[in-house]
Every structure is written in C-alpha cells, then in structure tokens.
C-alpha cells in the first residue's frame, strides 16, 4: 500500500525522531543565515565608520551573498579599502 519512503517517514513521525531532525536542521540553517546577516551588517558598519558610502552595486552584492568565504574576503577588504567599491575587486 505504501512505498518504503512513506513507511519510513510515517514511522519516524510517530516517534518524533523525524520532526526533531527536521527542526534541528531548520535551526542550524537559521543560525547560519543569522550569522551571515550579522556579518553583512558589520561589513556595512565598517564602511560607514570609515566614511565610505556603499553604492547600489556593493549593497546588492553584499546583501545577496550567501558564501561565507566571499563575505569574509569583503569584510577584510572593507578594513583597508579606499572606496567601498574596492571590496568587490
């Protein structure tokens, strides 16, 4: 009547294991997105504190970034950049 996957899901739902694992996975993803958002805000604060204005290209690139390595590169570049646009290079 049910395929193996359906039986697996129903069994784990009944024990709460499946729901718990999905909840934990969601929390981990939410935590990661939250940390990335904090990093994004910090990057803009660094630029602002240094008197650098982020143009629309910089704002869009940083706001849409979901790559930690790229964000870290931009964050470190913001510390020494002469212009906000320089962080993208």
Burial class (CB in 10 A: 0-12, 13-18, 19+), 18: middle
Q: What percent of the chain has pLDDT over 70?
A: 72
63 vs 8 pLDDT, higher one: 63
Domain that holds residue 48: 4-88
Mean pLDDT for 45-74 is 92
27 vs 66 pLDDT, higher one: 66
Count how many domains the chain has: 1
The tens digit of pLDDT for each residue in 3-41 reads: 676 566 556 555 556 556 656 666 777 787 788 888 788
3-state secondary structure of 53: coil
């Amino acid at each position: 009547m049910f395929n193996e996957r359906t039986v697996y899901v129903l069994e784990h739902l009944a024990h709460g294991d499946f729901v718990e694992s999905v909840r934990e996975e969601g929390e981990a993803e939410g935590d990661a997105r939250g940390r990335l958002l904090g990093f994004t805000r910090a990057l803009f604060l660094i630029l602002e504190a240094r008197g650098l204005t982020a143009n629309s290209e910089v704002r869009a690139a940083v706001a849409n970034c979901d790559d930690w390595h790229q964000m870290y590169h931009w964050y470190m570049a913001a510390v020494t950049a002469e212009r906000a646009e320089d962080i993208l290079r």
